[in-house]
Amino acid sequence: MRKIEMPLRYPFQTHAGQVNDRELIIIEIMDKEGRKGFGEVTAFSTPFYTSETIESAWSVLRRIFLPAVNWQQLVHPSYVASQLSIWQGNQMAKAGLEAAVWDLYAKQVNKSLSKLIGGVRPYVESGVVLSLSDKLDDVIANYQEEGYRRYKLKVEKYNEGKMIEEIKTYAPSLPVMIDANGIYEEKDIPYLQTLDSHGLMMIEQPFRPGDFYLHQQLQHQLETPICLDESVTSLADAKQAGRMGSCQIFNIKISRVGGMTEALAIHEWSRKNNIPVWCGGMVESGISKAHNIALASLDGFTIPGDISASARFWERDLIIPEVEVQQGRIKVPLDPGIGFEVDEEYLQFITQDTYIFQTEKS
Ligand code: OSB
Ligand code: MG
């Protein structure tokens, strides 16, 4: 495991905090033949999005998760998920470990991760996020060149209308959505109804994560589709939200739901129940972007996701080649595993701390 710090090109500001240098954990796993798999823990330095942090993930991986997996009997990446399922929470720590195993396993069976999990799309559609610190007129010009197919705005309470209308002047024909990260309360329901007039593609996570009932009440009174992000940490959460009518769309993040195995299960259930899904982002390196691209190549991912180009966040990314967006889409790589090479020289350069775990010799 490596703790790394990647300098962002621009700060990423939400209502709850600003990210300047992105701390991440990169997990590298090696088999007896020397093949390597890479995964990433996308928790933040502070618990502003979920309760996990880089420090908590580092600790729980070292002390509990790595020693707990029965590495000798691991025959499929989903075994990691089932072996770690006895422990509560820590989804991002679990997801990062499982991700490394998925990449390695795909390489062992000589398949692209996309094909391994049943991906059908040669390209995935790309959207981009505008953080509160982005000057819209500056950044939009760049993004228009890449042809992003949807804009997502982080919003400030009671300033949404102005921000939405401003972005529409730059991109009149593109779908626009907002991500509230749970800033609203029950008393804001009448106010949220007034946002229907902006014709938003969706509103993401208006209330706190646990509020399935409140989201249901709001969805009944709102034309704009609600999309849940933080609320859905498992298939069970997705089923609850879907059956209660708490939302009409899911944002699926591999990290938030505890790994690819759970993400696949949510995708499958959503498809059977005609709930469209899209792939969320975590201001992450190319390693987890690559995992996201594979996930988004599945059939049910019918809405452009938060999968942007490497250059959206980074001066230099951790993968070769970097992720590129052309005409609003990203080509799904077909090389074995995540399909991108990891830039190990740069990885070494930005490493702050390392921990090596040796499985017992069989
Ligand atoms: O809610 O999706 C979110 C970034 C930090 C914390 C929470 C969220 C986000 C994003 C980033 O929206 C999306 C991206 O990586 O492109
Ligand atoms: Mg969100």
Listed residue (169, 166, 144, 181) closest to 13, CA to CA: 181
Q: Go through 197-224 and write b for each residue having 16 or more CB atoms within 10 A of its CB, e for each that does not.
A: ebebbbbbbbbebebbebbbbbbeebeb
The ligand 1 atom nearest the CA atom of 253: 2
Confidence (pLDDT) at 138: 79
Q: Is the CB of 49 under 6 A from ligand 1?
A: yes
Enter the pTM of the model: 0.97
- 282 CA → ligand 2 middle, Å: 9
- 46 CA → ligand 1 middle, Å: 14
Strand partners, 152: 129, 177
| Residue of minimum CA distance from atom 4 in ligand 1 | 282
| Residue of minimum CA distance from atom 14 in ligand 1 | 281
Confidence (pLDDT) at 144: 87
* Active-site residue list: 154, 253
* Lookup: tokens for 361: 């010799």
Burial of 234 (0-12, 13-18, 19+ CB in 10 A): middle
Q: How far apart are CA 282 and CA 54, in angstroms?
A: 13
Residue indicated by tokens 């880089």: 54
Q: Is the CB of 19 under 6 A from ligand 1?
A: no
Q: Is the CB of 288 under 6 A from ligand 1?
A: no
Q: How far apart are CA 332 and CA 268, in angstroms?
A: 20
The domains of the chain are located at 2-110+343-354, 115-341
* Lookup: tokens for 212: 């399935």
How many helices (H) does the chain have, and how many strands (E)? 14, 15
- 180 CA → ligand 2 middle, Å: 7
* Lookup: tokens for 189: 């329901």
- Topology annotation, domain 2-110+343-354: Enolase-like; domain 1 (3.30.390)
Residue indicated by tokens 């982002």: 281
Q: Is the CB of 285 under 6 A from ligand 1?
A: no
Confidence (pLDDT) at 108: 98
Q: Is the CB of 308 under 6 A from ligand 1?
A: yes
Ligand nearest to the CA of 19: 1
Q: How far apart are CA 203 and CA 337, in angstroms?
A: 34
For ligand 1, pick from 15, 129, 208 the residue to mutate: most ligand atoms within 8 Å of CB: 129
Confidence (pLDDT) at 361: 63
Q: What is the three-class DSSP state of 70?
A: coil
Q: Is the CB of 280 under 6 A from ligand 1?
A: yes
| Residue of minimum CA distance from atom 1 in ligand 1 | 181
- 83 CA → ligand 2 middle, Å: 28
Please give the chain's pLDDT, 362 residues, in tens. 999 999 999 888 887 778 889 999 999 999 999 999 999 999 999 999 999 999 999 999 999 999 999 999 999 999 999 999 999 999 999 999 999 999 999 999 999 999 999 999 999 999 999 988 888 877 888 888 899 999 999 998 999 999 899 889 888 889 999 999 999 999 999 999 999 999 999 999 999 999 999 999 999 999 999 999 999 999 999 999 999 999 999 999 999 999 999 999 999 999 999 999 999 999 999 999 999 999 999 999 999 999 999 999 999 999 999 999 999 999 999 999 999 999 999 999 999 999 999 987 64
Q: How far apart are CA 74 and CA 84, in angstroms?
A: 13
Domain at 115-341, CATH class: alpha beta
